[in-house]
Amino acid sequence: MSLFLTATDTGVGKTHTAVQILRLARAAGIRCAGMKPICCGDRDDAARLLAASSEGLTIDQINPVWLKTPAAPLTASRIELVKIDVDLVLETFADLQKRIDLVVVEGVGGWLVPIREDFFISDLAAAMGLPVLVVAPNRLGCINHTLLTVRSITAEGSRCAGVMLNDLSGPAGVASTTNAEILSRVIEPPLLTPLTTELAFLPDDWGELFSLRNPLAFADDNLRPRDGAGR
């Protein structure tokens, strides 16, 4: 089972979500890895994914393409006069899939961020053949941005496996207290329980996502920690 994480924007919690999935999967005894195909700027996200992944992996397996410019991949590649090697990304992903039970791939920014002039994050998810999870910030504007992203995923021919609202710090307002209810009425993909650091195992709806919605996924029994695991 593998999953592609995208978001309605940059900096809204994709890495946090990926790290929590990996933490809870490892607690259940599942060999797993996070993957950040392309990093632009620092490599902090890739380092966090490596630390949360199962042992025996390297930073270059987690992040095969690293551009130093903090911008969209197409912009960074033009500034640095390099062509992003998509084949390397796909080969690295295929190798991880052979060795790892669960691969969580984290995209760059949002769904339509350009990697090359003719290749976008949406194309990368499609080339990997992965279901897509949308991470959205639970704030004003969330409904519009989430609907646009979910509809674009479907229009691009990929499957949206679910949406997770990430509660950002700050006082709750009308939007943050009503977004979940409204989204559950206007989108088809399930709205998933937010993953927090306090959780000891994956919530039931995440278990359904991994075990019932994908025939290649691990069994539901594996989602809860085994005796002594994660302690």
Tell me the catalytic residues.
36
CA separation for the pair 115, 106 (Å, rounded): 14
- The enclosing H or E element of 165 equals strand 160-166
Question: Which residue, among 97, 100, 106, has the nearest Cα to 17 in the 3D structure?
Answer: 106
Coil, strand or helix: which one is 67?
strand
Which DSSP string do the residues of 94-157 spell out, in sequence order? HHHHHH-SEEEEE-SSSTT-EEETTEEHHHHHHHHT--EEEEEESSTTHHHHHHHHHHHHHHTT
Report helix, strand or coil for 197: coil
Residues 6+ apart with CB under 8 A from 195: 16, 17, 20, 21, 24, 164, 202, 203, 206
How many Cβ atoms are within 10 Å of 72's Cβ, its own excluded? 20
136: phi > 0 → left, psi -120 to 50 → alpha, else beta; which? beta
